[in-house]
């Protein structure tokens, strides 16, 4: 009579999944691939994120042409020319609703739009989600305080201000500042962080860039040490 309490030997058919060398190798290769992607994403953000893939820096002093673009808040055409030469304009690039950092930014801009108004500047965002897609984005994120402009192919305006990435096939997340004479005074492919949670710092960066540009161009009331409204929790 056999002793059922005797320890059983593990035969080849009972080996654990991890004990197979081939399975262990697969796991290590997967971990290496994940690490490589993470390192690449980190380096990409250090280099300026999508801004490093833009269509080319636009030199300060370039005159911005008046353009009419669809405003996703209303579905109507918005004439940027009515503000050119009258107010400083902070123009922000928007990659699309797929980008978490971008969604957070347009929501933060909605919340802090009064900061730009208090600084005497006009805020606008420009992307490429035309038609119902753009209108859905504006409605979903409650954008009412500034125009959410959209441009379709061939993206002439986005290209003209250096905010289009041929490599990605979309705008990158950056900004330009246009002074009261209608010229770009800050930007040159300046990028914003697409990382989740970066929206408050991005808005602070925009306001600081506005103050700095005004100081360089000698606008009244501007100085390198001008105070900038900062995000509140």
Residue 11 within a domain? no
* Shared-domain flag, residues 41 and 66: no
Determine the structural domain holding residue 28 and report its residue range.
17-46
Comparing CA positions, the residue from 92, 98, 188 lying closest to residue 140 is 98
Q: Are residues 80 and 195 in the same domain?
A: yes
Q: Please check whether residues 71 and 140 belong to one and the same domain.
A: yes
> Could you tell me which residue, 49 or 157, shows the higher pLDDT?
157
Here the CATH number for the domain that contains residue 102 is: 3.40.30.10
Tell me: the pLDDT tens digits for 103-119?
999 999 999 999 999 99
Residue 67 has pLDDT above 90, yes or no: yes
CA distances from 7 to 2, 4, 18, 45, 198 (A): 12, 8, 22, 56, 58
Residues 40 and 80 in one domain: no
- As to burial, measured by CB atoms within 10 angstroms (0-12 exposed, 13-18 middle, 19+ buried), residue 137 is buried
If one counts the domains in the chain, the total is: 2
Q: Is residue 230 part of a domain?
A: no
Does one domain contain both 59 and 82?
yes
**Domain co-membership, 108 together with 140:** yes
3-state class of 83 per DSSP? Answer: coil
Of 189 and 223, the structure prediction assigns the larger pLDDT to 189
Domain assignment of residue 60, yes or no: yes
Burial 138-169 (b: 16+ CB within 10 A, else e): beebebebbbbbbbeeebebbbbbbbbbeeee
pLDDT in tens, 156-194: 999 999 888 888 889 989 999 999 989 998 875 588 999
pLDDT at 187: 72
In a domain, 229, yes or no: no
**Does 6 map to a domain?**
no
Q: Is residue 233 part of a domain?
A: no
Looking at the structure, do residues 76 and 28 belong to the same domain, yes or no? Answer: no
Do 29 and 112 fall into the same domain? no
Mean of all residue pLDDT scores within the chain: 80
pLDDT band at 5 (very low <50, low <70, confident <90, very high): low
Residue 187, Cβ density class (10 Å: 0-12 exposed, 13-18 middle, ≥19 buried)? buried
pLDDT > 90: what percent of the chain?
Answer: 53
Average pLDDT value for residue range 64-92 = 94
pLDDT digit string (tens) for 122-159? 999 999 999 999 999 999 999 999 999 999 999 999 99
pLDDT at res. 154: 94
Same domain, yes or no: 97 and 171: yes
Answer yes or no: is pLDDT of 8 > 90. no
120 and 155 part of one domain: yes
pTM exceeds cut of 0.85: no
Identify which has the larger pLDDT, 68 or 4.
Answer: 68
Q: Is the residue at 224 inside a domain?
A: no
Q: Are residues 209 and 106 in the same domain?
A: yes
Please state the rounded mean pLDDT for residues 44-49: 43
Q: Note the pLDDT of residue 112.
A: 97
Same-domain check for residues 59 and 121: yes
Give residue-wise pLDDT tens across range 23-36. 767 777 677 666 55
Q: 85 lies in a domain?
A: yes
Inter-CA distances, 141 with 59, 108, 146, Å: 33, 10, 12
- pLDDT band for position 7 (cuts 50, 70, 90): low
Tokens for 167, please give them: 């490599």
**In whole angstroms, what is the distance from residue 201 CA to residue 211 CA?**
15
């Amino acid at each position: 009579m056999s002793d059922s309490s005797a320890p059983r030997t593990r035969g080849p058919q009972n080996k654990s999944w991890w004990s197979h060398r081939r399975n262990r190798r697969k796991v290590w290769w997967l971990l290496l691939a994940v690490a490589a992607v993470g390192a690449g994403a980190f380096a990409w953000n250090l280099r300026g994120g999508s801004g490093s893939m833009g269509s080319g820096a636009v030199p300060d002093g370039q005159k911005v042409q008046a353009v009419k673009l669809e405003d996703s808040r209303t579905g109507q055409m918005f004439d940027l020319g009515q503000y050119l030469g009258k107010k400083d304009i902070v123009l922000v690039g928007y990659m699309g609703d797929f980008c978490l950092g971008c969604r957070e930014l347009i929501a933060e801009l909605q919340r802090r739009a009064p900061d730009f108004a208090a600084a005497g500047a006009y805020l606008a965002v420009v992307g490429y989600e035309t038609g119902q897609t753009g209108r859905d984005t504006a409605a979903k994120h409650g954008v009412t305080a500034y125009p959410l402009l959209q441009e379709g192919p061939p993206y002439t305006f986005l290209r003209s201000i250096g905010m289009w990435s041929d490599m990605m096939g979309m705008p990158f997340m950056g900004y330009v500042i246009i002074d009261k004479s209608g010229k770009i005074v800050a930007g040159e492919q300046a990028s914003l962080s697409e990382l989740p949670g970066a929206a408050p710092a991005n808005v602070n960066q925009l306001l600081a860039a506005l103050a700095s540009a005004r100081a360089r161009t000698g606008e009244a009331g501007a100085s390198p040490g001008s105070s900038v409204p900062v995000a509140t929790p």
